[in-house]
Amino acid sequence: MQGYLSLLKIKRLPTTWCPGCGNGLVIKALIQVMESNNLNKKNTVIVSGIGCVGRTTGYLKLDSIHTLHGRAIPVAEGIKTANPKLNVFVVSGDGDLLAIGGNHLLHASRRKTNIKVICVNNRIYGMTGGQASPATPKKTVTTTTPKGNEFEEINTQAIVTSNKNFFARSTVFHLDHLKKMIKKSLENKDFSFIEVISNCYPGYGKKLGFTSNYEMLMDFKKKFENQKNKSILKKNELGFLK
Amino acid sequence: MKQKKQLIKGNHAIGKAAIEAGCNFYAGYPITPQNELTEYMAKHMRLNKRPFVQAESEVSAINMVFGAGAGDARAMTSSSSPGVSLKQEGISYIAGAELPCVIVNMVRGGPGLGNIAGAQSDYFQSTRGGGHGDYRLIVFGPNSVQELYDFTMKAFDYADKYRMPVMILGDGYLGQMMESYIPHKYEPIKNLPKKKWALTGCKGRKKNIVKTLYLTPENALEEHNLKLNEKYKKIQKEIQMYEKANADDGEIIVVSYGTASRVVKNVIEFFNKNSKKKIGMFRPISLWPFPATALRNLKCKKFLVVEMSMGQMIEDVKLALFGKKDVTVNLIKRPGGMIPTEDEIKDKIEKMIG
């Protein structure tokens, strides 16, 4: 197993995240890929938006920028366009990237800017206490949908792939797969979007009847399967489209 | 029947007042420290069979309110500082188009993302208009849960009466605190005008146009601005709200609003009990229009402004006192979500007494 301490700010631990949160797993996977692919302090910048996942930038020993709510993608585009040699990662959540940042996602994917967007999708606004996000499934009870969410969840995959960009789906349970997907995205020179399904027990899982973060991870194990056809990626499948 | 005291959270009190005052459109977006208000509206608007929308951003929420207000809805949106900054373009359009709406800002520390503690650093933004162009908002600065409740009800009436956005300028502390309040029946102000300008379908009448673009003739926009200004002057005459204590014969007057004024109140009581020196207080409640005349009419020469910002209201205090002889204005400033302590205010007052 590779270490992942070189880029982690050990002094800042423990993180502000709840025990069992998937965000830590995403950091681990990201750092391990960075180490194996020679992405380092010299050539890599990390960008995040607002929300729980947005705090990621603070735990990495890389030049990082904590941006406005929803605006991580345009800030990343600015960095990449002005300095194309840099590898630019965006790490943020579903509320940030898909709701308030939805328009920017649309246009960055149209421009095909070579940035890697890692969207940690816990299907809820975790930091503000569990409001519905665009990724919250229909009928889910949240603090802003007390009688169940009346809308369908957003189809991010369709948005990203409509411009023939790289889209991958993984979960925080399938760490090796997640690393593979991040590596795959590095081969791609266009806009890349990796949706990482994550767990938020206090904000989301609790209301669905789960009793712990562990149970939520086990649920990912049960629900998701590997992609069967290279040209199709179903909602419950792990894999990528290019 | 006289209502009994009840315990309620500040954010919930606003939601309750809004629903009682007939708010029939609400759009919001999550941001701490006002989430409880959005959540309250999600539940209670539905129970009252009125529309609630969780928008995809603050920008979307204010523009939904623009649309709802252009109809004949009593529309409201709420947010906290960074979110209210996002709303500014929409607020400018709503003010320019002369539409009513209520905006709640539960201020948090800034600039940028800042933190999530209550602050008073959005005073300039709120009282100067906030967005682009020459316009104003009616701004109330309540300092208790009871006042959050009372002024939210009033806000809807003033918005309809003057056809302009009204802002409740609270802060994170007021939104989050639980306090007793006495609920009361909503009583609208008299002679509220009918909304003849609203977009409700123009069959049988001349069509209504809602717009903020004035290109021709050359002075069309100037005329529009002058018309708005006439309205603002009228409001300045009609709305002048403040609270004062020992203000007419106080040796030093402490000026503060909102959460800061709660600390000041305790200090004034302390001096009342323990000192021969008379210390007074002046608390603007309507922050725009600022109760300048009432402040200027005080005989006192020494003023102390206490703010949870780097000093913003102090400019209005100085403007109100401009040209008066031998007047000094001191400042206690605690930015970034900090609350001034009673001790630091007492120390400053004692120094000023000399």
Nearest-CA neighbor of A26 among A194, A175, A161, A219? Answer: A175
| Cβ <8 Å between A68 and B113 | yes
Q: Which of A:100-129 have CB within 8 Å of B? A: 100, 102, 125, 127-129
Question: Per the CB < 8 Å rule, is A132 touching B54?
Answer: yes
pLDDT at A1 over 50: no
Residue of B nearest to A100 (CA): B57
Residue B174 to residue B108: CA distance in whole angstroms: 11
Strand partners, A239: A169
For residues A171 and A194, give the distance between their C-alpha atoms in angstroms, rounded to a whole number.
10
Residues 6+ apart with CB under 8 A from B75: B23, B24, B25, B26, B27, B64, B65, B68, B69, B100, B101, B102
Contact B331, B304 (CB under 8 A): yes
Given CB atoms, is A24 within the 8 Å cutoff of chain B? no
A99 → closest Cβ in B42, B43, B56: B56
How many beta-carbon pairs below 8 A join chains A and B? 50
- Which chain B residue is nearest to residue A67, measuring alpha carbons? B113
Give me the domains of chain A, ranges plus CATH numbers: 19-241 (3.40.50.970)
- Between chains, do A143 and B35 touch, taking CB under 8 Å as contact? yes
pLDDT at B3: 82
- A5 — pLDDT class (breaks 50, 70, 90): confident
φ, ψ at A191 (rounded to 5°): -65, 135
Does the distance separating the beta carbons of B46 and A146 come in below 8 Å? yes
Residue A222, chain B, CB below 8 Å: the answer is: no
Contacts A68 to B, Cβ<8 Å: 82, 112-113
Interface probe with B: pick from A131, A204, A207, most Cβ of B within 10 Å: A131
What integer pLDDT is reported at residue B2 of this predicted model? Answer: 72
Q: Contact, A62 vs A42, CB < 8 A?
A: no
Residue A4's pLDDT band (cuts 50, 70, 90):
confident
Per-residue pLDDT of chain B (354 residues; tens, 9 = 90+): 678 999 999 999 999 999 999 999 999 999 999 999 999 999 999 999 999 999 999 999 999 999 999 999 999 999 999 999 999 999 999 999 999 999 999 999 999 999 999 999 999 999 999 999 999 999 999 999 999 999 999 999 999 999 999 999 999 999 999 999 999 999 999 999 999 999 999 999 999 999 999 999 999 999 999 999 999 999 999 999 999 999 999 999 999 999 999 999 999 999 999 999 999 999 999 999 999 999 999 999 999 999 999 999 999 999 999 999 999 999 999 999 999 999 999 999 999 998
pLDDT given for residue A3 in this prediction = 66
Residues from chain A that touch B113, judged by Cβ atoms under 8 A, are 50, 66, 68-69
Best of A57, A71, A143 to mutate (most B CBs within 10 Å, chain B): A143
The DSSP code sequence of B136-174 is --EEE---SHHHHHHHHHHHHHHHHHHTSEEEEEEEHHH
A141 touches chain B (CB under 8 A): no
Is this complex's ipTM strictly greater than 0.90?
yes
Find out whether B279 and B249 touch, Cβ atoms under 8 Å: no
Q: Does A140 touch chain B (CB under 8 A)?
A: no
Going from the N-terminus, what domains does chain B have, and what CATH number goes with each? Answer: 6-187+228-237 (3.40.50.970), 243-353 (3.40.50.920)
- Give Cα separations from A137 to A134, A148, B206 (angstroms): 8, 9, 45
